[in-house]
């Protein structure tokens, strides 16, 4: 389980100031991130280093990240809010 200080830091990094991103990332980091394995946690942190406009396009499904890890993380986050 992630340490509380890391979770706090990630919570604030997940608040992007763009509502469309905030409603996806903030609940994900609160509810899912602590239970992810180390590799998926690394992928989430990598996602947070991306530009907001890129993430917006990915989450609005207007494109996909070239990086396979990022593509998998975007899909994981979208799957939480788009039941199949």
Domain ranges of the chain: 7-81
**7-81 CATH pick, 2.40.50.700, 1.10.150.250, 3.90.220.20, 3.40.190.10:** 1.10.150.250
Does the pLDDT value for residue 84 go beyond 70?
Answer: no
Two structure tokens written together for 42:
């690394």
What is the model's pLDDT at position 3? 87
CA neighbours closer than 13 Å in the CB half-sphere of residue 38: 0
Residue 73's nearest CA partner among 35, 42, 31 is 42
Stretch 49-69: mean pLDDT: 97
Distance CA 84, CA 81 (A): 9
Task: Kindly report, residue by residue over 1-48, the tens digit of the pLDDT.
Answer: 458 898 999 999 999 999 999 999 999 999 999 999 999 999 999 999
């Amino acid at each position: 389980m992630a340490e509380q200080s890391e979770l706090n830091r990630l919570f604030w990094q997940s608040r992007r100031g763009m509502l469309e991103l905030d409603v996806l990332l903030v609940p994900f980091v609160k509810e899912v991130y602590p239970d992810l394995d180390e590799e998926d946690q690394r992928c989430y942190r990598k996602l947070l280093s991306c530009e907001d406009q890129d993430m917006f396009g990915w989450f609005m499904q207007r494109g996909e990240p070239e990086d396979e890890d990022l593509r998998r993380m975007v899909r994981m986050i979208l799957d939480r809010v788009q039941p199949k």
